[in-house]
Amino acid sequence: MIAVGVYGATGYAGHQLVQILLAHPDVNLKFITSRSYAGRRLSDVYPCFCDLALIAAEDAPLRDIDVAFLCLPHGASMETVSKVWEAGVKGIDLSADFRLRSAVNYQHWYKKEHTAPALLSKSVYGLTEVYRDQIERAQLVANPGCYPTGVLLALYPAASQGLLSEKHIIVDAKSGVSGAGRSLKLTTHFVEANDNFSPYSVGHAHRHISEMEQELEGFSGQDYQITFSPHLVPVNNGILSTIYVTASVDRDELLDLYSQTYADAPFVRVLEDDRLPSLRHAVGTNRCVISITQVDDEGHFIIISAIDNLIKGASGQAVQNMNVMFGLDEQTGLEA
């Protein structure tokens, strides 16, 4: 049994993570922390019947666990990750704090100085299907952002084979409202988000661009520039990304490449017939569902991917990474 602690269990990703961990056959959940709700039970915070006690992070018995999951806000996570590292405990960080390899880049995008830059080179970017080997040996995994997970899995096979011939890639992404977090704001008030559909931070503005561009360069050795348009969909969960690329091959070649690349990836589903992914294909699961549509004979393609933002885009992929780090079957506790 793996002894596990969760820091920050009352946000949407943290709560989803706790649900997965409680059903995981090889996990012993030792503690869950909360800044706002320490002293309460999880059932005081969500309409559920889980009476686990929430404790303050300071009171968490860090040394009793094998692995810590950190579901803290970026900026706040760095400090706790450092303590986890120093305690010799494995860490899976769901914040953005250890995703970028460069502290300068981090400061540019997140407007904060990085206080643990030495750990940046120690952390492995936790896109399981791509970095499985490094994750096996990692002490610290930086779990990818929700948008980058779906986008990078949709681009990795083509990018890593050097097939993406146009440096500008357009990502038109649509996310459910849980992606905006549980903290209270007018944009996520029911009356404002319901019956609505709205773009935000479009252009070259959203922080997740930094991850996507870094990884695409890592895959391919080339510079790409992502034009990124996120939108809010009036559903709770899910991200659908419609991606516009240029590639000098045809659809069958791409489908072959994608199918081979992901042949051993149980959570990636490439649609080889004419179906297109919808949120329903992915929500409630750890899957990433991908389609490829050829637009014309000039190399224009639309690649669409769908994930559950809280599962494959956060807590599910985090558990998948834990499974890899501890030598378990990647699917353990995530099959449903």
Query: Which residues are known catalytic residues?
Result: 146
Shortest distance, CB of residue 303 to its own copies, whole angstroms? 10
With CB under 8 A as the contact rule, which of the stretches 1-9, 34-42, 221-229, 256-264 interacts with its own copies? 221-229
Residue located via tokens 């990692």: 138
Q: CB neighbours of 190 closer than 8 A, spacing ≥ 6? A: none
Taking the C-alpha atoms of residue 226 and residue 207, their distance in angstroms, rounded to an integer, is: 11
Find, among 185, 316, 190, 179, the residue nearest to 240 by Cα.
179
CA 134 to chain centre: 17
Return the amino acid letter for 238: G
Task: Please report whether residue 311 would count as binding its own copies according to CB under 8 A.
Answer: no
- Measured from the CB atom, the residue of 92 and 292 that comes closer to its own copies is 292
Task: Please report whether residue 53 would count as binding its own copies according to CB under 8 A.
Answer: no
Q: Could you say which of 126, 144, 238, 313 contacts its own copies (CB under 8 A)?
A: 238
| 69 to 118, 158, 192: CA distances (angstroms) | 20, 32, 33
Q: Could you say which of 70, 140, 152, 304 contacts its own copies (CB under 8 A)?
A: 304
Per the CB < 8 A criterion, the answer to whether 99 and 79 are in contact is no
Shortest distance, CB of residue 46 to its own copies, whole angstroms? 8
With CB under 8 A as the contact rule, which of the stretches 30-38, 68-76, 226-234, 313-321 interacts with its own copies? 226-234
Residues 207, 208, 209, 214, CA torsion sign: positive
Task: Please report whether residue 25 would count as binding its own copies according to CB under 8 A.
Answer: no
Interacting residues with its own copies (CB under 8 A): 12, 23, 47-49, 168, 170, 172, 174, 177-178, 182, 184-186, 188-200, 202-204, 225, 227, 229, 231, 233-236, 238, 240, 242, 244, 269, 276-281, 283, 287, 293-296, 298, 300, 302, 304, 335-336
